[in-house]
Amino acid sequence: MIKDDPKTMALTSAKLDGLLRIAGEAIVIADAKFRVIEFSHGAELLFGYAHAEIIGKSLDRLLPARFSARHHEFMAAFAKESAPARLMSSRGRVVGLKKSGEEFLADASISHSRTGDEIIFTAILRDVTERMREDERLRRAKRQAEDAAEAKSAFLAIMSHELRTPLNAIIGFAEFIRLRVLDQDMASYDSYLDDIIRSGRHLAEIIDDVLDQARMEHGQMELDESVFDPAAAIAEAVRTSSALAQAREIKIDIRRPDPCPPLRADRRRFVQIAINLLSNAVKFSDSGKNILVDLTADAESGLVMKIVDQGIGIPADKLDSVFEMFTQASNHMRRREGGVGLGLSIVKAICEAHGGSINLASAIGEGTVITVCLPARRIVRA
């Protein structure tokens, strides 16, 4: 018969050899006992085996051991099917195993045919690991873009409210004064002027925070370094925060080394770190609670400042994002005192500009511990 003609068989074999050499996908042909009888150049590249290494060996070498039994069951069932082939992805992705031990995901098409009493399996595989990774990167980028858009929208809404509140106070009290509503009651006018000044300063603080963040985003933060007493700087920050703390009947304690070694840093920025962190601690603490500022500093360990509060705490799933811009605007902390959600991101940027770090530990209902670390090179040796 024609099919048994030696010339025809030789031609067919040559065509198959040529196909196996030029095919980009991995082509693996196995017999009924799942032994490899053909292995394309694409398969060599994908699996890492040379043709001679794998011919006659079990297909089990090409897949993780945990899938072997299931794979044999599938092949045995497939051999009994009337359908001669299953196209790529028709049974989901398969997991392959390279010579190096690395696993990969692949789309696979498989067919079976018979030569006399022998059944032959042919599989074509395409590695999709990198495509899966790229898809995941795109999904992650999409989620991040959506989160950022949502956070910025919330930030703009909150920013509008935060700016309007002091502005309304300034305009309202100025109108009272201009219209002489209270005639000659100068004491009331003085009170209104105090409110105008207080609202103006609050407005300036908000704008300063936004400008600070803009400068930091563009790498324009400049440090005005000097040598100073960090304990005195922290005491200044505590005094600045004392009015709000006293109004809430919150006591702020300071624990410090004696003597405290001098620090080389930007003093104004260092005080800003302490004020921002103390402000948050006070805002999110209930009346009657205590706050501790624990300062340690030495030439070996550097400076470590811990601010420990007994406040409402932060959910565990939000801890990773508290230092991101607009985090409060993204609404995972209870908005009790306003603010535009830039305080912690600014603090983080200042710490990093000094070569330091900041981390946070918290639990709902148990309070928060924020730790600021500045490197030992910033401690001035006696």
Domains parsed from the chain with CATH numbers: 2-127 (3.30.450.20), 154-217 (1.10.287.130), 225-378 (3.30.565.10)
Res. 244 pLDDT band, cuts 50 70 90: confident
Residue count of the chain = 382
CB-CB neighbours of 219 under 10 Å: 8
Tokens of 54: 């794998």
Give the dihedral sign, CA 189/195/200/201.
Answer: positive
Instruction: Please report, for residues 20, 44, 90, 158, the alpha-carbon distance to residue 23 in angstroms, rounded to integers and kept in the order given.
Output: 6, 11, 21, 59
Q: pLDDT-derived band of residue 1, with 50, 70 and 90 as boundaries? A: very low
Phi/psi of residue 346, nearest 5 degrees = -70, -45
Q: How far apart are CA 105 and CA 89, in angstroms?
A: 11
Share of the chain above pLDDT 70, in %: 77
Residue 332 CA: distances (Å) to CA of 249, 326, 341: 25, 10, 10
- Beta-bridged to residue 106, according to DSSP, are 94, 127
Q: Which of 206-210, 345-349, 350-354 has the highest mean pLDDT?
A: 350-354
From residue 154, give the alpha-carbon distance in Å to each of 167, 279, 320.
Answer: 20, 22, 19
* pLDDT (tens digit per residue) in 315-338: 887 777 777 765 553 344 444 455
Q: Which two tokens stand for residue 71?
A: 């794979």
Query: Under DSSP, is residue 257 helix (H, G, I), strand (E, B) or coil?
Result: coil
Which strand (E) or helix (H) includes residue 187? Answer: helix 186-217
Mean pLDDT along residues 39-49: 89
Range with the largest mean pLDDT of 78-82, 210-214, 275-279: 275-279
Would you call 27 helix, strand, or coil by DSSP?
Answer: strand
Who has greater pLDDT, 335 or 218?
218
- Please state which of the ranges 10-24, 230-244, 310-324 shows the lowest mean pLDDT: 10-24
State the average pLDDT over residues 159-183. Answer: 72
Say how far apart CA 50 and CA 47 lie, in whole Å.
9
Backbone angles phi, psi at 109, to 5 degrees: -110, 140
Phi/psi for 262 (5° steps) reads -65, 155
On the 0-12 / 13-18 / 19+ scale of CB atoms within 10 A, 187 is: exposed
DSSP single-letter state for residue 285: S
CB of 212 closer than 8 Å to CB of 344:
no
pLDDT above 90 (res 296)? yes
Mean pLDDT of 113-125: 82
Count Cβ atoms below 10 Å from residue 70 Cβ, excluding itself: 10
Position 351 scores a pLDDT of 92
Mean pLDDT confidence for 142-162:
71
- Mean of the pLDDT values across residues 142-170? 73
Residue by residue, DSSP assigns 137-165 as HHHHHHHHHHHHHHHHHHHHHHHHHHHHH
**φ and ψ at residue 39, rounded to 5 degrees:** -145, 110
358 with 372: CB under 8 angstroms? yes
pTM attached to this predicted model: 0.52
Distance CA 263, CA 17 (A): 75
Q: Given pLDDT bands bounded at 50, 70 and 90, which one contains residue 255?
A: very high
Q: What is the mean pLDDT of the chain?
A: 80
Query: From CA 315, how far away is CA 317, in angstroms rounded?
Result: 6
List all residues 6 or more positions away from 103 whose beta carbon is below 8 Å from its beta carbon: 64, 95, 96, 97
Kind and range of the H or E element at 291? strand 290-298
Give bridge partners of residue 362 from the DSSP assignment. 368
Q: CA-CA distance, 41 to 19, in Å (whole number)?
A: 9
100 phi and psi, to 5 degrees? -70, -10
